Amino acid sequence: MPHFDTILAVLLAGLALSATPGPSMLYVLSRTVGQDRMAGFASAFGLALGGMALAVATALGLAAVFERFTWIVPTLRYVGSAYLIWLGLGMIWEARAASQTDLEVSKVTRRSTGQIVWQGVLVELMNPKTVLFFALFLPPFVSMGEGNGSVELQFLILGALVPLTAIPSDMVVVFMGAGLTGKLNERRHLREAMGWIGGLMLILIALNLHLGFI
């Protein structure tokens, strides 16, 4: 079982990423505005299911690698931490430019609830960036040795937490609908601040994994 501080760090990192406007948020928003609120819920549910399946598959694969090749553990820990810092710096670097770009909702074809859920699952599963994210994001948070629980359990719990952190922001998108696009386009300084806050949070979490200042 992962320690509480590890679970908290993963939750904060996931929230920092999901709360920043991106493709997944725009996908849910497009479904909500282009069809209806139920379609928005269905798309969010599909994305969560796809993320959960991908998290479980990645976690089991990484657990097998960790147990067979123990020498790779510290390597992936540093690579994963560097990846978090890279993501954080990218969010900060793009914050200003992204805030000056209008968010646009794409037109969608009306589909049944089941079709939308399945489409959301496929969107998440077929995204190579998501696969890379899980492969590099999870290792730094897994602890080896006695007293830390099995590697598989740690990976499964932490991996499952990542798609769950996107649900709150997706629900906000569904309930606010088209009004969210207007508010974010009007308050560009808020979008820039969200990028800075999210980026700094990822960097601090990565540094704390090795420095332990929190």
One-letter amino acid for residue 32 of the chain: T
Q: Tally the C-alpha atoms within 13 A of residue 55's C-alpha that lie toward its C-beta.
A: 23
124: helix, strand or coil? helix
Q: What is the pTM of this model?
A: 0.76
Residue 101 and residue 18: Cα distance in Å, rounded?
Answer: 19
Residue 1 and residue 10: Cα distance in Å, rounded?
Answer: 14
List the chain pLDDT tens, one digit each, 214 residues.
Answer: 777 888 888 888 888 877 776 677 778 888 887 778 888 899 889 988 988 888 888 778 877 777 777 777 778 778 888 888 888 888 888 777 665 665 556 666 788 888 889 988 888 887 767 777 777 878 888 876 655 667 788 888 888 888 888 888 888 888 776 566 556 556 667 767 777 888 888 888 888 877 766 5
Phi and psi of 6, rounded to 5°? -70, -45
Q: Are 191 and 99 in contact (CB under 8 A)?
A: yes
What letter does residue 27 receive in the DSSP assignment? H
